[in-house]
Structure 1
């Protein structure tokens, strides 16, 4: 559903479309973003927020009057406090909001918009970190990495906003409010991106094939019996298999999910194989 071609369509100058497609596909499986309308609206909103590239919010302003029109909190401060001073501006406009401390705390700058969906504010960094299993309060810079940024975007879309629910109900314009707030900035551009994305994420209907597991050490794949089992370090459940089948449609390139390789053959068979265990894939023992 999410391919490098889709990334290039929405972000022609993207530095690594395949890495973005892989990271977003994994995040989609983990958080159950499988409805084509939801996938298309999700990536369309991410294209508006960040061009599908992890980044930090740009708060460099040279026009004080324009900045004050956008951020009313600046009206109490002289130009020198925020003009050509992004850190000063962030600490003012985000002070005492979204779980942040006061201006002097530095929270506004530390927890300014980050990632693909521009997670903002200490409370949202904390909630997102809980959902994706990373301490984003202690290490907000993790959202500058493509894997955590994709997971954060999926967590927000499905668990912290109504984005997924609205998209499934057909309210695509409403998803812009879910992501951007009442201002709904660039809603028309998001809808245009959605129109480009939807045909690319809609997989051609096909008859589901069998699910086959490659034995340890290789050999001819054997048919999975449908029972929950630990396979290659991944808990294989019927729900997960259905998500893998949907996110990686028939004929898609080999994909990597957790410690598995995923092949969805053109005939509909879904083949799963353990990835080789290497020293780099073994978690380091705590010191």
Structure 2
């Protein structure tokens, strides 16, 4: 797939069956590069291109409607220039890299549109909420570099409290995503909430488009926005970690995120 790029006019355009023009040709090129089959890059949004869009949306956990809007463009690696957190929008690439300096340029660019989309979906839309969310993700995922638990997952085998009742469930449903989703029952619950079959396709939780959405779902569902509003970062850590492991590092990320987002 082409590298993620800033393209405000393209990312804001909506394309559907019978659309025509250079935007359609760019869509067709990106679909083809992603391994789908839209036909020739002729700038005409016909039935074959629509089918490729639907297949792409289905594979990436998007609403399967055959129309290309901001979320589908983002999954294709096209993003508009994000507004700053101070105005209630997403964060910028520079802010992300300043907060997580171990993140490579290519990884940061790949993560950003999905991160911003997930924060919007989960109402993580104020600087206070974003700073807390980003700080916790930075610690949990090694600055967004690790979306799958390094351990095999055998330690979770037979854990009925996690819903792991079938042989192989431990490795199958090991921790994935920037906030580690773990256990068959949690995969099932998250998947149902997001409209994705994560129980049947657990590795999708480690993909950027789904992993960030899972993290946002987890965050919002556990009332962490309210705690961020109240400035209770310690309790956010307890609810995510079950204790206070790594609290000093989490707090250091939080202080820097607050500074970067000008809170």
TM bin (shorter chain): 0.5 to 0.7
Q: Please state whether the residue corresponding to 2:198 is helix, strand or coil.
A: coil
Structure 1 position 198 matched with structure 2 position 258: yes
Q: TM-score scaled to structure 2, two decimals?
A: 0.61
Matches within 5 A, 1:107-146: 107-146=169-208
Q: What is aligned with 1:30? A: 121
Match in the other structure for 2:149? 57
Give the corresponding residue for 1:219. Answer: none
Gaps of 5+ in 2: 1-84, 86-90
**Is the counterpart of residue 11 in structure 1 residue 94 in structure 2?**
no
**Paired residues, number:** 171
Corresponding residue for residue 239 of structure 1: none
**Deviation at 1:164?**
1.6
CA separation of 1:125 and 1:202: change in aligned 2, threshold 3 A: farther
Contact 1:40–1:197 (CA<8 Å) still a contact in 2? yes
Tell me, in whole angstroms, the C-alpha distance in 1 between the residues paired with 2:201 and 2:249: 32
2:162 counterpart of 1:98: yes
Whether the 8 Å CA contact 1:54–1:143 is kept in 2: the answer is no
Aligned counterparts of 2:231 and 2:244: Cα–Cα separation in 1 = 17
| Unaligned stretches of 5+ residues in structure 1 | 60-85, 204-287
Q: Structure 2 CA distance, aligned partners of 1:178 and 1:162?
A: 10
* SS of residue in 2 equivalent to 1:52: coil
CA shift, 1:168, in A, is 1.1
Question: CA shift at 1:54, angstroms?
Answer: 4.9
Q: Is the Cα contact below 8 Å between 2:136 and 2:237 reproduced in 1?
A: yes
Task: Return the alpha-carbon distance in structure 1 between the equivalents of residues 225 and 94 of structure 2.
Answer: 23
Q: CA deviation at 1:41?
A: 0.5
TM-score by length of 1: 0.56
Q: Which has the higher strand share?
A: 1
Q: Which has the larger radius of gyration?
A: 1
Contact 1:113 1:120 in 2 (8 A): yes
Classify the secondary structure of the residue corresponding to 2:162. coil
Pairwise CA RMSD: 1.8
- CA offset at residue 87 of structure 1? 4.5
